[in-house]
Amino acid sequence: MNIYNLKAEKVGSVNTPMQFSEEYHPDVIRRAVLAIQSHKRQRYGADPLAGKKTTVKISKRRREYRTSYGHGISRVPRKVMWRRGRQFGWEGAYAPGTKGGRKAHPPKSEKVWELKINIKERRKAIRSALAATLDKELVEARNHVLPKFFPFIVDSEIENINKTKDVERALESLGLKEELARVHEKRIRAGKGKMRGRKTMSRKGLLLVVSGTCHLLKAAKNIEGIDITVVDKLNAEVLAPGTVAGRLTLFTDKAIERLEKERLFM
């Protein structure tokens, strides 16, 4: 692939590492992404005593009340709503099969949501997602607006930028102005999520991959829709958001060099 500087000028070329030659496996990528998402899921469950809490405990034993049984009614677990001497108002609220009853099998907090995936399979998914980032048809299928000279590698001088406005200016010079405008537009979420602090939804845009800790990690953090990560911290979810591979990704030349030298994800 060709290497371009921040002025969109070709300054060299480099052979892509063997990680980009992996065959495209959408099913493996999906498994890896779902495994990552399952690790973020918070456990939840109902109170074990839900539907069994009463203000008064009634034993319903004949020797104490001498009236609960023998009236031609079924022996369903009942909740006493009122009592007048030896008269009782019942509701079959304890049994799941009765009107107003509790849930038979409510969600339980001890359920394990985490999905497991083999190490080799996870690495294969990352390599497959890396290969998909160079496939122009797959990237366009995600509605990304591509520069004319895509795919390409950006010069590592971009890692030294320490201001957000300079990052935006550099990306616009590389032909990503329309892509930044696309992800900047937000849409209102459908449903009750609007009332829970998630009123708007934003699109996934460019992914920047750098070689290590640098100023760009902080400078590009505040741009809408853009994610930035170090090359050794890549995973299937950031390369294929929503389990769909082909995200528009920019690698620096030092990141490509480190990917090949350290044989990451092999």
Same domain, yes or no: 123 and 234 = yes
Same domain, yes or no: 235 and 168 = yes
Same domain, yes or no: 128 and 8 = yes
In whole angstroms, give the CA distance from residue 247 to residue 56. 61
In whole angstroms, give the CA distance from residue 195 to residue 253. 44
103 found inside a domain: no
- Cross-strand partners of 251: 209
Number of domains, the chain: 2
36 found inside a domain: no
Same domain, yes or no: 168 and 82 = no
Same domain, yes or no: 70 and 137 = no
CATH number of the structural domain spanning residue 197: 3.40.1370.10
Confidence (pLDDT) at 27: 97
Same domain, yes or no: 153 and 244 = yes
186 found inside a domain: yes
Confidence (pLDDT) at 62: 57
Please state the pTM of the whole predicted model: 0.84
In whole angstroms, give the CA distance from residue 266 to residue 256. 14
10 found inside a domain: yes
Alpha helices in 42-145 (DSSP H): 62-65, 119-132, 136-141
Same domain, yes or no: 120 and 245 = yes
Q: What is the largest CA-CA distance in the chain?
A: 97
Which structural domain, as residue segments, surrounds residue 66? 62-91
Same domain, yes or no: 72 and 179 = no
Contact between 214 and 173 (Cβ < 8 Å): no
52 found inside a domain: no
In order along its 266 residues, the chain shows pLDDT tens digits of 999 999 999 999 999 999 999 999 999 999 999 999 999 999 999 999 998 887 766 666 655 554 556 667 777 777 777 878 767 777 777 888 888 788 999 999 999 999 999 999 999 999 999 999 999 999 999 999 999 999 999 999 999 999 999 999 999 999 999 999 999 988 999 999 999 999 999 899 999 999 999 999 999 999 999 999 999 999 999 999 999 999 999 999 999 999 999 999 99
Confidence (pLDDT) at 179: 94
45 found inside a domain: no
Residue 251: phi, psi to the nearest 5?
A: -105, 140
Nearest to 22 by CA among 143, 150, 133, 119: 133
Q: Among 91, 106, 131, where does a domain finish?
A: 91
In whole angstroms, give the CA distance from residue 189 to residue 166. 31
